[in-house]
Chains A and B, each alone.
Chain A
Amino acid sequence: MQHRIRLRPPQIWTVSLILGFGLFIFALTSSISPVQAAPGFQPSSQEDKPDNDYCLACHQEAGKTTTIGDETLAITINPTEFKLSVHNEEAIACVDCHTNIQGFPHRKVEVDTLREFTLSFLETCGDCHEEEYTKTHDSVHQAAFDKGNQNAPVCMDCHNPHTQTRLTGKSSGELTPSARLKIPTTCAQCHEDIYNTYRSSVHGKALTEEGNVDVPTCIDCHGVHDIQDPTTVTFRNSTPFLCATCHTDEDKMAKYHISTNVLNSYVSDFHGTTVKLFEEQFPGQPTNKPVCTDCHGVHDISRPSDPETGIGMQENLLVKCQRCHPDATANFPAAWMSHYEPSPEHYPIVYYVNLFYKFFIPAVLGGMIFFVLTDIYRRIVNRMKGVKH
């Protein structure tokens, strides 16, 4: 029995060599095994690659840094935050993204700046998040990036992969309320001025102060991954329909007693008719007729009844009118029916003019048609009788 396990020195060398070679092959294959792009990617098991705890063993140490070029890179991963992250929840391994790391010491990073280091991971996100990744290629941020702005945001600037928690409900696929609450501050990392304006608006105040997630955040108007340039003619012309997605929704508006007739009343007015016809026939053609945002504001939309800034106040509205009609005087804003359907209470003259024509037109035309019909009848009768009219 003893004989079997007792190895002579040359045999030890042979076994170690085989084992060592085997380990080497293992390390090699596990490091180059591609992280496939299939959504819902599940690592087969963590056994065939370094365990996350294995990495965290070093990387959870607070204040850990390294240098890239002249810049310092914090390489501490907060284990609590990481445990809560969606990537941890989905059992994504560190090395699924950090594919260039096979063991310690790590391979030397071959970039010169922190930004370059971040950017070197870009395609990695696309391996799993193909849809979102592809969408970003059509975004205004990508356009800025393509023009040479390296700071234009990429995936990781909005979604820290080590701390990003789940954003959508697992079954619903909808953004969770807590995710919605965080959107404006995410964008504010770069668009701080706009964020501050938004925060003072009727929508922003409700979100940031009351935690009301019914209101639109940045992405409800601008989109998420394929964010478009909001200064284009096409975007401007489509604004009324953008606002209408919520403002014609009975369910959403009922809660706040807001009229859902705002789009109809806009489109039936001179300005709205023009914009609608433009939108549908010539989406790219500029028009100087106002869209929602020209009167209500963009990021600073306020309640129309707000005594300070609300355009329900005719004198506040006049200021908006004067942006295009500088000579407009006090009576002018009333030429716009403030989204009201004419009724005996609101805009009675318009109501009664419409009512007048509602009866006058059929009365006049009916009389004409009646006379014409009697004339035709008489002609037929006369012809049958052979009488000349």
Chain B
Amino acid sequence: MNTVTKTYMRFPLARRIEHWIMMLSFTLLGLTGLPQRFPDASLSRSILDVLGGIEALRTIHHTAAIVMMFGTAWHILVMGYSVFVMRDQMSMLPTFQDAKDAIQALLYNVGFAKTYPQMGRYTFEEKMEYWAFVWGAFVMGATGFMMWNPITATQYLPGELVPAAKAAHGGEAVLAVLAIIIWHMYGVHIKRFNKAMFNGKLNEEEMLHEHPLELADIKAGIADRRPDAATIRKRQMIYYPIAALLTIAMLSGIYGFINTEETALTTIPPISVVSTPESGSTTP
């Protein structure tokens, strides 16, 4: 084997930063969300103690949610650029081949298939995780909105959907956190320590093992065909205004998410301290 192994750039810095932001906010959301889902667990109490109580916990949870909303908005813009301007292959889209790959991988593992499936830029495992995250973000966003803004939600929806949203938010959270621990941890940290989100690169051997079809495309020079500069500029002129509108829409969406309601979040003095007939008792 060569002393210098050839490496392939898998995730440029911008994508890695995006991933780290999502990872950080996801971790914080889980860390501050699960104690609310399981308030009686001793671990929850320890977390509450460390973070300074339930109100602080909720503030951190909301802040992390806002970070994740920005992360999601940014991802949508980046994907839009990739799809509409660069016309990159939409390599993350699930295909029928992924299902076949998954079955073949399973059969190979248990000894019924001779070879492990050969996969491209994103394996079925990665696609599964990506789309699970998309689904999760959608569910958590929608249900989170209803809990964050229950008054607005119940202007249009039956009240019962608020506790239903809470139930779904909690269920989905348990699923998401455990899925990350089982699937993500195993897939990229335990099976083989994948450094692509640290230094952005995979080496030749890793590429050969995990993304042989992509490697073949790279070697054939068809993996990364960029449009010429003029075409890019032309498409940018169309995409940028659309992206700007999209950005405004998404930012106002986030703003609305955070600011629609005040009453549910603003701290109101405890009712018994505000003067009521009871507290003005006739003490002799």
Q: Which residues of B contact A323 (CB under 8 A)?
A: 271
Give min CB distance, A359 to chain B, whole Å.
10
**Which residues of A are interface residues toward B (Cβ below 8 A)?**
144, 149, 151-153, 190-194, 197, 230-231, 233, 235-236, 267, 269-270, 273-274, 276-278, 280-282, 285-288, 290, 293-294, 298-299, 323-329, 331-337, 342, 347, 349-350, 353-354, 356-357, 360-361, 364-365, 368-369, 371-372, 374-375, 377-379, 381, 389
Q: Knowing A236-B270, A335-B160, A378-B109 touch, does A361 contact B151 (C-beta < 8 A)? A: no
Give min CB distance, A170 to chain B, whole Å.
33
Q: Which residues of A contact B278 (CB under 8 A)?
A: 194, 197, 298-299
How far apart sit A236 and B271, CA to CA, in the bound complex (Å)? 9
Whether B175 and A357, one on each chain, are in contact in the complex, defined by CB atoms closer than 8 angstroms, is yes
Q: Knowing A281-B48, A361-B174 touch, does A194 contact B268 (C-beta < 8 A)? A: no
A-B CB contact pairs (8 Å), 20 listed: A152-B283, A193-B277, A278-B54, A287-B270, A288-B271, A290-B271, A298-B278, A325-B151, A327-B151, A332-B150, A337-B163, A350-B163, A350-B164, A353-B171, A357-B167, A360-B171, A361-B175, A371-B105, A371-B106, A381-B111
Pick the contact of A357 from B147, B158, B172, B263 — CB < 8 Å?
B172
**Which residues of B are interface residues toward A (Cβ below 8 A)?**
36, 39, 45, 48-49, 53-55, 105-106, 108-111, 116, 147, 150-151, 154-155, 157-164, 166-168, 170-172, 174-175, 178-179, 182-183, 186, 191, 209, 261, 263-264, 267-273, 276-279, 281-284
Whether A365 and B161, one on each chain, are in contact in the complex, defined by CB atoms closer than 8 angstroms, is no
Whether B178 and A349, one on each chain, are in contact in the complex, defined by CB atoms closer than 8 angstroms, is no
Whether B178 and A365, one on each chain, are in contact in the complex, defined by CB atoms closer than 8 angstroms, is yes
Q: Knowing A193-B281, A353-B171, A361-B175 touch, does A277 contact B48 (C-beta < 8 A)? A: yes
Whether A354 and B179, one on each chain, are in contact in the complex, defined by CB atoms closer than 8 angstroms, is no
Q: Which residues of B contact A377 (CB under 8 A)?
A: 109-110
Residue of B39, B191, B276 with most chain A CB atoms under a 10 A cut-off: B39
Give min CB distance, A334 to chain B, whole Å.
3
Give min CB distance, B151 to chain A, whole Å.
5
Whether A357 and B179, one on each chain, are in contact in the complex, defined by CB atoms closer than 8 angstroms, is no
- Look across to chain A and name the residue whose beta carbon is closest to the beta carbon of B278: A298
Q: Nearest 8 pairs between A and B by C-beta?
A: A334-B159, A357-B171, A374-B109, A335-B162, A331-B154, A335-B159, A378-B109, A288-B268
How far apart sit A236 and B182, CA to CA, in the bound complex (Å)? 43
How far apart sit A327 and B48, CA to CA, in the bound complex (Å)? 31
How far apart sit A378 and B182, CA to CA, in the bound complex (Å)? 17
Pick the contact of A364 from B45, B150, B179, B269 — CB < 8 Å?
B179
How far apart sit A368 and B36, CA to CA, in the bound complex (Å)? 26
Give min CB distance, B64 to chain A, whole Å.
18
Give min CB distance, A321 to chain B, whole Å.
9
Pick the contact of A277 from B53, B106, B147 — CB < 8 Å?
B53
Q: Which residues of B contact A327 (CB under 8 A)?
A: 151, 261, 263
How far apart sit A384 and B213, CA to CA, in the bound complex (Å)? 28
Whether B179 and A365, one on each chain, are in contact in the complex, defined by CB atoms closer than 8 angstroms, is yes
- Look across to chain A and name the residue whose beta carbon is closest to the beta carbon of B172: A357
Whether A349 and B164, one on each chain, are in contact in the complex, defined by CB atoms closer than 8 angstroms, is yes
Q: Which residues of B contact A153 (CB under 8 A)?
A: 284
How far apart sit A329 and B158, CA to CA, in the bound complex (Å)? 11
Residue of B157, B168, B183, B270 with most chain A CB atoms under a 10 A cut-off: B270
Whether A277 and B39, one on each chain, are in contact in the complex, defined by CB atoms closer than 8 angstroms, is yes
Q: Knowing A151-B284, A334-B160, A335-B154 touch, does A276 contact B110 (C-beta < 8 A)? A: no
Pick the contact of B168 from A294, A357, A379 — CB < 8 Å?
A357
How far apart sit A364 and B281, CA to CA, in the bound complex (Å)? 59
Q: Which residues of B contact A324 (CB under 8 A)?
A: 263, 268, 271
Whether A342 and B163, one on each chain, are in contact in the complex, defined by CB atoms closer than 8 angstroms, is yes
Whether A194 and B281, one on each chain, are in contact in the complex, defined by CB atoms closer than 8 angstroms, is yes
How far apart sit A262 and B163, CA to CA, in the bound complex (Å)? 16
